[in-house]
Amino acid sequence: MTTAATSVNPERVALVIAAYNEGSVIGEVVRDALRFFPRLIVVDDGSSDDTGAAALSAGAVVLRHPINLGQGAALQTGIEYALLLNVDFVVTFDADGQHRPEDVQKMLEALTCNGNQVALGSRFLGEAVGMPFSRRLLLRAATLFTRITTGLRITDAHNGLRTFRRDAAEAITIRQNRMAHASEILEEIGRMQLTYCEVPVTIRYTEYSRAKGQSGLGAFNILIDLLIARIRK
């Protein structure tokens, strides 16, 4: 295992990866992350390929949803399982290879040094390698929307790399099963007045991750999901 560049004991950190049909990349992502953090939980969200088997053979703990529920549901499942373990920090990490485990160390450092409860990754403070222009525009619009609706002063609303201190992970419950969970997490941080900071991170866009990413229609669906959730309240 690579020596951690943080004062946090890696055994006290759980990485949660939600994966749906990521069999071709999940093994590499797991092996890369295990170099830094030994507690890695992959939630196989009802994949029809060998995602679960690939993650397991790479060394992750695998939880499997019997049916596909969505990334938000899978993350909540992983977080609930992580909280059963004796960890102080829970990290959400993407399955498509966009994130770097080294950035998690920076986020943990930010939490331990500044006493914040949540560290949010920001590609706009850091670097977004190979990000398409259309994606940049979409993310900027989503960030503006989130700043208006939550009051949080953030620069990147839909970054899947987040680190929660245990108390924050316990406080937040993700109810949005699909992609609207990213906005919901920020709403919860604002509503419960959790302390947070943004940490510059590097996001690597590959052909694979671009193909799997959100479309304009996806952004519209997120808005509808958030609207319905508010009616329900």
Partner 1 sequence: MIKIFLSLLGLIVIAYGVREWRNSRLVSMLLVICSMVAGVLVWFPAWSDQLAHLAGVGRGADMILYCYSAISFLMILNLGLKQRDLHQSTTRLARYIAVTSPRLPDEKPIGK
Q: Which residues bind to partner 1, rule: CB under 8 A? A: 43, 52, 56-57, 59-67, 69, 73, 76-77, 80-81, 84-86, 175, 177, 228, 231-232
Q: Which residue has the tokens 């949540």?
A: 118
Q: In the complex with partner 1, which residue's Cβ is closer, 33 or 56?
A: 56
Q: Find the shortest distance in angstroms from Cβ 76 to partner 1.
A: 7
Q: In the complex with partner 1, which residue's Cβ is closer, 38 or 200?
A: 38
Whole-angstrom distance, CA of residue 192 vs CA of residue 174: 14
- Phi/psi zone of residue 46: left (φ > 0), alpha (ψ -120 to 50 degrees), beta? left
Q: In the complex with partner 1, which residue's Cβ is closer, 141 or 227?
A: 227
Query: Which residue from 217, 64, 219 is spatially nearest to 157, judged by alpha carbons?
Result: 219
Q: In the complex with partner 1, which residue's Cβ is closer, 39 or 135?
A: 39
Q: In the complex with partner 1, which residue's Cβ is closer, 119 or 172?
A: 172
Q: In the complex with partner 1, which residue's Cβ is closer, 42 or 104?
A: 42
Whole-angstrom distance, CA of residue 132 vs CA of residue 134: 6
Q: Which two tokens stand for residue 67?
A: 């049916």
Q: Which residue has the tokens 């170099």?
A: 35
